[in-house]
């Protein structure tokens, strides 16, 4: 079952796609999109989470720039618009929006009170920032673009986190990946996995860089992680 939820903040409101499981008392996973908005790829991920017993909520990030932006064809003028929005997106205000949503989700009817975060590319970076600045019960970052620019915030992350890094990611190059590994104590709450030979967006459904074996492994690790920390 899915529907659209609208949340009001001080300077406006934004929509969220919600997929619900059949049962009540379910944990919530807030799913943060790439620069392409709440498209079919992200709805697929939300429905998959709902089938696994989670309430999945995917908010639009670019709502201050364009309401309802979603792109399923990653070429042409749509791609140009997405890249433009990425450059103009206020990450601090976006992180505040997401923190508001996490707090809201804890008291959502039918929810258990536990909330996780899961994000891809820009969404992966926003997952990292929200985990560092306001926290959640557990979080997963898939190839978080430009995470190296915020690595100084890593020590503030106190809750369990997984970071999935692609070995050939041009947006998180080798030096940046080394910085990510070095930022976390192996005995701490954050685990970093590398997927050698994979490009950025290796887990995007139907994407040109999709890698089935790497996506399966990363997703299996994610499902086990959420089962351990959100149940």
All structural domains of the chain, each given as residue ranges with its CATH number in brackets, are 2-230 (3.40.50.1820)
Q: What is the CA radius of gyration of the chain?
A: 16
b (16+ CB within 10 A) / e for 77-104: ebeebbeebbeebeeeebbbbbbbbbeb
Annotated catalytic, 200?
A: yes
pLDDT tens-place string over residues 65-116: 999 999 987 667 778 899 999 999 999 999 999 999 999 999 999 999 999 9
Which residue among 137, 164, 199, 200 is the active-site one?
Answer: 200
Q: Do residues 154 and 184 lie in contact, with contact meaning Cβ atoms separated by under 8 Å?
A: yes
Annotated catalytic, 41?
A: no
pTM listed for this prediction: 0.96
pLDDT tens-place string over residues 134-186: 999 999 999 999 999 999 999 999 999 999 999 999 999 999 999 999 999 98
Which residue among 41, 97, 137, 169 is the active-site one?
Answer: 169
């Amino acid at each position: 079952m899915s529907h659209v939820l609208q949340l009001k903040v001080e300077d406006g409101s934004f929509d969220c796609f919600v997929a619900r499981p059949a049962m009540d008392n379910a944990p919530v996973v807030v799913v943060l999109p790439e620069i392409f908005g709440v498209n079919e790829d992200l709805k697929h991920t939300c429905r998959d989470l709902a089938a696994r017993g989670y309430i999945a909520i995917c908010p639009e990030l670019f709502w201050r720039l364009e309401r309802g932006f979603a792109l399923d064809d990653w070429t042409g003028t749509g791609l140009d618009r997405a890249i433009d929005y990425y450059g103009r997106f206020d990450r601090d205000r976006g992180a505040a929006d997401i923190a508001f949503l996490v707090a809201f989700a804890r008291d959502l009817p039918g929810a258990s009170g536990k909330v996780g975060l899961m994000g891809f590319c820009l969404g992966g970076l926003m997952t990292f920032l929200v985990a560092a600045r306001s926290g959640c019960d557990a979080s997963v970052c898939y190839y978080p673009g430009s995470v190296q620019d915020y690595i100084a915030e890593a020590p503030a992350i106190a809750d369990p986190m997984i970071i999935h890094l692609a070995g050939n990611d041009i947006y998180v190059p080798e030096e940046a990946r080394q910085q990510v590994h070095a930022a976390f104590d192996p005995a701490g709450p954050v685990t970093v996995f590398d997927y050698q030979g994979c490009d950025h967006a290796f887990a995007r459904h139907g994407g040109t860089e999709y890698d089935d074996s790497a996506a399966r492994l990363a997703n299996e690790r994610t499902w086990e992680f959420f089962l351990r920390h959100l149940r």
